[in-house]
Chains A and B, each alone.
Chain A
Amino acid sequence: MIRKIFYAIQFFGFYLFQLLRSNIYLASITLSPKLNIKYGFIQVPLSLKSDFGLLLFSNLVSMTPGSLVTDIDSAKTMATIHVIYSTSEKEIYDEVQKMQNKIKHFTE
């Protein structure tokens, strides 16, 4: 129980940090004179079981730099994520998997 509370507080700090980073990134993209962005869809397999975990996960993904959950299918196995990226798609994929592990620590 105490471990879960610790992980929840850690997750809250992580969420605030991501919020700051994503807004600075978005402002830098929006105000750049050349708008050279690449965008597309990514399919990510879901490993979370509970509905509360899924709510937290989609909230976090929508607030991280350059990604937005657009669809979760009815069997809760795949999430479709729309991505604005400047580096590579694989990096964002790994980041999303890491987030799911963080949430799993204190919801299950």
Chain B
Amino acid sequence: MTTLITALLFLLGAFFILVSAIGLVRFPDLYTRMHATTKATSFGILLIILGTALYFNSNVVWIKSVLVIIFIYLTTPLASHSIAQTKKNHRKD
């Protein structure tokens, strides 16, 4: 049963990362592309890490995975924010 759930979580995570890659190609603008890369990649990584934590199911792995998830969710919006700032300051006249 646990292997089935982990397989499902891995597949969903891979699907969301694929969605963000497709969005990166299809969207017309820098900002709209940043929407796809900010939201969908972090969610896909969250699902994959949850799958690994469920598979090993020990305390150390749970603590480490929760810390990794918190770190990723604190830093991904920062990265997109700084990309937008550089775009704003680098406007060609």
From B29, B32, B35, B76, residue with most partner A Cβ within 10 Å:
B35
Question: How many positions in chain B have a CB within 8 Å of any CB in the partner chain?
Answer: 26
The verdict on A68 contacting B35 (CB below 8 Å), with A23-B40, A58-B77, A59-B77 known, is yes
CA gap between A24 and B76 in the complex, in Å? 19
**In the complex, residue of chain A having the shortest beta-carbon distance to the beta carbon of B74:** A59
Q: A29-37, A89-97, A99-107: which one contacts chain B?
A: A29-37
In the assembled complex, the Cα of A58 lies from the Cα of B77 at a distance in Å of 8
Roughly how many angstroms separate A75 CA and B19 CA in the complex, as a whole number? 37
Q: Are B26 and A35 in contact (CB under 8 A)?
A: yes
Chain A residues whose CB sits within 8 angstroms of the CB of B84 once the complex forms:
68, 70-71, 82
A1-46 contacts to B (CB < 8 Å): 19, 22-23, 26-27, 29-31, 35, 37, 39
Residues on B with C-beta less than 8 A from A30 are: 19, 22-23, 26-27, 36, 40
Taking CB atoms, residues of chain B closer than 8 Å to A27 are: 16, 19, 40
- B10 CB → nearest A CB, Å: 16
Q: What A residues does B36 contact at CB under 8 A?
A: 26, 30
Q: Are B80 and A62 in contact (CB under 8 A)?
A: yes
**A59–B40 CA distance with the chains assembled, in angstroms:** 14
- A39 to B84 alpha-carbon distance, docked (Å): 15
Besides A39-B32, A71-B81, 19 other CB < 8 A contacts? A22-B39, A26-B19, A27-B19, A27-B40, A30-B23, A30-B36, A35-B26, A35-B27, A35-B28, A39-B31, A58-B77, A59-B74, A62-B38, A63-B39, A68-B84, A69-B81, A70-B85, A70-B88, A84-B32
Interface residues, chain A, CB within 8 Å of chain B?
A: 19, 22-23, 26-27, 29-31, 35, 37, 39, 58-59, 62-63, 66, 68-71, 82, 84
